[in-house]
Amino acid sequence: MPSRYGSRQDLGQNFLVDRDIIKLIRRTAQRAEGPIVDLGAGDGALTLPLSQLGRPVTAVELDPRRARRLSARAPGNVTVVGEDILRFRLPAVPHTIVGNIPFHITTATMRRILAAPGWVSAVLVVQWEVARRRAGIGGGSLVTAESWPWFDFSVLGRVPRFAFRPAPSVDGGILVIERRPEPLVRERREYRDFVKQVFTGRGRGLREILQRTGRVPARELSAWLRAHGVSPQALPKDLTAEQWASLWATARGGHAAPQRHPRQRPPARSPRTPRAPRSGG
């Protein structure tokens, strides 16, 4: 097969077969307007239901045999592109991204998506733990905190491994990403350097970590912690997107407005798991 991934297994082809999960993804993608790009279209499990929305759909599929079969079956509003999703250039116009992302290239695919300027929402099937980490369930990761000012992440549900054919070794999750109409932070590179410095800093809690960085004067730091109800012993992973943006504003000398949130951050709720899959096409 003329593919840079080699065998079918290397292509990461674990196809969705659960109709309820496919319907859930379709309903979620329906909320936005404009064209749809289906990454890793395979046999069209998502492409064909999405085409019923009456919007232009671009289906990107690396496997040439599957791309040809899908092109022969698809209605007129679907364009099938036989290309690697890591090389496909996403449209510059506002659009929605949908995709059952091959698990072994999730990180690279996410990196390309988050760097692309045109899309407004994305509904992606990724590994369950990746979906949880991106959405900040159980605590935000460095990668999530770096992206939060520009994107809102949420988990729509868990996808049991048997909802795929062949079944992968782990469950999937439906990760929804929305581009914020107005970013919480303007200085992208400087903000990301600050977040990395805090996440990798030494100390027993935010107060000590930030004091060691020298980025926030002690008086301003104490005022910020009180205003946002953040414990001095909290860790970087415990902060919300809005708290990171406000902390950055304080670090660069801006005004940090108090949040209208309870003093203790409520634990993130795990999403409901869709019911067990049914076999289907």
The values of phi and psi at residue 220, to 5°, are -65, -35
Give the separation between CA 82 and CA 66, rounded to whole angstroms.
Answer: 9
CA 137/CA 151 separation, integer angstroms: 15
Render pLDDT for 142-175 as a digit per residue (tens, 0 to 9): 999 999 999 999 999 999 999 999 999 999 999 9
Q: What is the pLDDT of residue 272?
A: 52
Tens of pLDDT along 108-150? 999 999 999 999 999 999 999 999 999 999 899 999 999 999 9
What domains lie within the chain, and their CATH numbers?
15-179 (3.40.50.150), 188-251 (1.10.8.100)
Position 9 scores a pLDDT of 40
pTM, two decimal places: 0.84
Ranges under pLDDT 50 in the chain: 1-10, 255-270, 275-281
pLDDT, position 133 = 93
C-alpha span between 56 and 260 (Å, rounded): 41
The structure tokens listed for 150 are 């520009």
Alpha-helical runs (H) found in the chain:
19-30, 47-51, 64-73, 106-115, 128-135, 142-147, 188-199, 206-213, 218-228, 241-251
Q: In sequence order, which residues have a C-beta less than 8 Å from that of residue 240 and are 6 or more positions away?
A: 136, 140, 261, 265
Instruction: Give the pLDDT confidence score for residue 271 in this predicted structure.
Output: 54
The pLDDT of residue 136 is: 93
